[in-house]
């Protein structure tokens, strides 16, 4: 199933206190393309509808002057005594006019995503959290973490104080990732500052628990730390931005629940109706190693001379190239052969000189029997 079938369980002090089998979900294929596509669709479901005012740019009385005034026929503001009078209005090309195709709140904001696709992306994102290189590539500071995936005993589910939660992260060597988030907090550029999105910051560890006995209250105020139940795993948190490799900290009971949630390769899920883990169609993803293996090379033909095919079709004259001529007209081979033989015969006759004419016998008249048959009634 894996090169390391068990994972150490850490105590809140950071010491190893036991082992737990590695769930099969961590061995499913990691499909970065599927995760990015599904994340893009799921993220659209959180958008808040927006639109410009239906009256914007049209809150004036303007009428077209018609033809005959040597000006455009667009509606113009009436009246006088101000610069505004006579100015064009309403059009999207006008100053103070409405926009082209004003946005409406009944736009199609939500995207339906198939359940099997969402589950495939979720299990693939879970598997990516167990690969240290992917977690490091995503930017998490896990250089001093003892083991990935990181499993902690269920004692942390009963924590009540943020001070205790911070001490646990420090003992697990996960504090550098929290400090990275704290130092990354910057003011947002643009008008998002006015709309409840004043600051931007990185993402920190994701705490995954089985039972909430106070763990959410203990970890919720730590910068960048997110808490989620193992029964509510969400792709938006497992792969923020569609980027795989989120640093996850599991409680022991939540880690043990994964086989029941997603099943194994031998049995389907016990909590999701009719769901089984996806299986890779290729057992060994290293195609170069497969091609160069002794089993494959034994049935392949030896490599011949390299031939570089022209990237274009070469035009050949059939009047000069016999091979092309015979391909276009197979009878040309016979005609050329006959012509060659005829020329050889003529040359031989010319070399022999003029030949005396042969004297033929005089024509004999037809016999009596022939005439009788010819003139028979």
Tell me: the pLDDT tens digits for 223-251? 999 999 999 999 999 999 999 999 999 99
- Whether residue 77 contacts residue 85, with contact meaning beta carbons closer than 8 Å, is answered with yes
**Encoding tokens for residue 134?**
């992917």
**Can you give the residue ranges of every domain in the chain?**
6-44+111-262
- Taking alpha carbons only, the member of 9, 6, 10 closest to residue 21 is 6
- Of 42-46, 196-200, 285-289, 330-334, the least confident: 285-289
Q: pLDDT, tens digit, for every residue of 104-153?
A: 999 999 999 999 999 999 999 999 999 999 999 999 999 999 999 999 99
Using CA atoms, how far apart are residues 35 and 47, in angstroms rounded to an integer?
Answer: 19
* Strand, helix or coil for residue 170: helix
> How many other C-beta atoms lie within 10 A of the C-beta of residue 144?
10
The pLDDT value recorded for residue 1 is 43
- Report, in this order, helix, strand and coil percent for the chain, each rounded to 5: 35, 10, 55
Mean per-residue pLDDT, 185-201 = 95
Dihedral, CA of residue 39, residue 116, residue 123 and residue 271, to nearest 10: 130
Using CA atoms, how far apart are residues 125 and 341, in angstroms rounded to an integer?
Answer: 80
The pLDDT value recorded for residue 361 is 66
- Whether residue 179 contacts residue 170, with contact meaning beta carbons closer than 8 Å, is answered with no
Q: How confident is residue 2, by pLDDT bands cut at 50, 70 and 90?
A: very low
- Taking alpha carbons only, the member of 216, 228, 223, 280 closest to residue 254 is 228
Q: What is the mean pLDDT of the chain?
A: 93
Q: What percent of the chain has pLDDT over 70?
A: 98
Q: pLDDT, tens digit, for every residue of 93-104?
A: 999 999 999 999
> Sign of dihedral through CA atoms 14, 19, 22, 23?
negative
- Whether residue 224 contacts residue 178, with contact meaning beta carbons closer than 8 Å, is answered with yes
* 6-44+111-262 CATH fold: Ribosomal Protein L4; Chain: A; (3.40.1370)
**Distances from the Cα of 214 to the Cα of 156, 229, 313, angstroms:** 9, 13, 74
Give the single-character DSSP code of 88.
Answer: B
Helices (H), the chain: 32-43, 115-128, 132-137, 162-171, 175-183, 215-219, 235-238, 252-256, 258-262, 287-291, 294-297, 322-328, 331-352, 368-374
């Amino acid at each position: 199933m894996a090169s390391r079938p068990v994972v150490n369980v850490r105590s809140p002090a950071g010491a190893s206190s036991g082992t737990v089998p590695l769930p099969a979900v961590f061995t499913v294929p990691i499909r970065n393309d599927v995760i990015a596509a599904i994340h893009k669709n799921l993220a659209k479901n959180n958008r808040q509808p927006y639109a410009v005012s239906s009256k914007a740019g049209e809150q004036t009385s303007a009428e077209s002057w018609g033809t005959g005034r040597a000006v455009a026929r667009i509606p113009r503001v009436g009246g006088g005594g101000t610069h505004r009078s006579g100015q064009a209005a309403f059009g999207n090309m006008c100053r103070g006019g409405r926009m082209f195709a004003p946005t409406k709140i009944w736009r199609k904001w939500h995207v339906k995503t198939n359940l099997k696709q969402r589950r495939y992306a979720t299990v693939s994102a879970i598997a990516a959290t167990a690969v240290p290189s992917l977690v490091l590539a995503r930017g998490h500071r896990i250089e001093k973490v003892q083991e990935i995936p990181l499993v902690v005993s269920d004692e942390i589910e009963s924590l009540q104080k943020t001070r205790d939660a911070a001490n646990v992260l420090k003992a697990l060597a996960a504090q550098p990732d929290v400090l990275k988030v704290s130092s990354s907090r910057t003011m947002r550029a643009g008008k998002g500052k006015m709309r409840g999105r004043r600051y931007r910051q990185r993402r920190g560890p994701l705490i995954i628990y089985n039972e909430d006995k106070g763990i959410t209250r203990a970890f919720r105020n730590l910068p960048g730390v997110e808490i989620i139940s193992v029964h509510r795993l969400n792709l938006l948190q497992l792969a923020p931005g569609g980027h795989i490799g989120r640093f996850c900290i599991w409680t022991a009971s939540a880690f043990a629940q994964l086989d029941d949630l997603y099943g194994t390769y031998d049995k389907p899920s016990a909590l999701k109706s009719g769901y089984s883990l996806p299986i890779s169609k290729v057992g060994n993803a290293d195609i170069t190693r497969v091609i160069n293996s002794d089993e494959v090379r034994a049935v392949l033909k030896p490599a011949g001379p390299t031939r570089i095919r022209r990237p274009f079709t070469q035009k050949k004259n059939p009047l000069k190239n016999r091979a092309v001529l015979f391909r276009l007209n197979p009878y040309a081979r016979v005609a050329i052969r006959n012509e060659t033989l005829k020329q050889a015969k003529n040359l031989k006759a010319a070399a022999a000189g003029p030949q005396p004419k042969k004297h033929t016998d005089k024509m004999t008249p037809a016999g009596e029997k022939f005439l009788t048959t010819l003139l028979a009634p």
